[in-house]
Amino acid sequence: MKFARSAVVFAAVVLGLVGLVPSATAGDETWRFDSEWDTGSLDHNPTNGVHTRSWNGGPWQIWAVKRYGDGTFRFMNTGSLRCLDNSEHGVRGFGCNDGSWQRWKVNSWGDGTVEIVSTWNNHCLDNSWEGIRTVGCNGLEYQRWRVR
């Protein structure tokens, strides 16, 4: 009897923890972001952090999209299961939450490109020789992305 009760408690704990881990399911909308500056795809992995690299079709370059009722978005990398996060620590992949550090606005330029704006500091996602960061929005190619 004691073993059966322990097994039930263990199963409940495991199943409860499974619900805490974010996942990308088949029904999720996914996007890929290609930089206008270097044509690389936005990528996140534990070794290199957030960066761009040539499209390779891997999960590190695909982002599951969560849409909020206020028109903002959250992007979770399908390879690392980390969300695109912008804070005083810079742009990084971080455990997913619903905070302003992980909410983004996507504004169309009308030419097939968009700017991705952090709700935390109202700066644009920027890809240049300085890497991925957010800086004041300026409309230059460093801040223009194609969503595929």
The DSSP line for 90-105 is EEEEE---SSGGG-EE
Instruction: Name which of 13-17, 46-50, 52-56 the model is least confident about.
Output: 13-17
CA distance 72 to 66: 9
For the cut 70, the answer to whether the pLDDT of residue 110 exceeds it is yes
- Can you give the pLDDT at residue 15? 39
- Can you give the pLDDT at residue 7? 42
Q: Does residue 96 fall inside a structural domain?
A: yes
For the cut 60, the answer to whether the pLDDT of residue 14 exceeds it is no
- Can you give the pLDDT at residue 134? 99
Query: Average pLDDT, whole number, for the chain?
Result: 88
CATH number at residue 42: 2.80.10.50
Q: Is 24 helix (H, G, I), strand (E, B) or coil?
A: coil
Q: Does residue 57 fall inside a structural domain?
A: yes
Rounded average pLDDT over 3-27: 42
- Can you give the pLDDT at residue 31? 98
Q: Does residue 2 fall inside a structural domain?
A: no
Q: Does residue 64 fall inside a structural domain?
A: yes
CA distance 64 to 62: 7
Indicate if the alpha-carbon torsion angle 11, 16, 20, 26 is positive or negative. Answer: positive
Q: Does residue 8 fall inside a structural domain?
A: no
Structurally, the chain folds into a number of domains equal to 1
Q: How large a percentage of the chain has pLDDT more than 70? A: 82
pTM: 0.82
pLDDT band at 28 (very low <50, low <70, confident <90, very high): confident
Residue 82 is which amino acid?
R
- Can you give the pLDDT at residue 6? 43
Q: Does residue 84 fall inside a structural domain?
A: yes
Beta strands in 5-123 (DSSP E): 29-31, 33-35, 41-45, 49-53, 63-67, 73-77, 83-87, 90-94, 104-108, 114-118
Rounded average pLDDT over 123-140: 98
Residue 85 in tokens: 């996060």
Q: Does residue 61 fall inside a structural domain?
A: yes
Q: Does residue 1 fall inside a structural domain?
A: no
Domain residues for 118? Answer: 25-147
pLDDT band at 19 (very low <50, low <70, confident <90, very high): very low
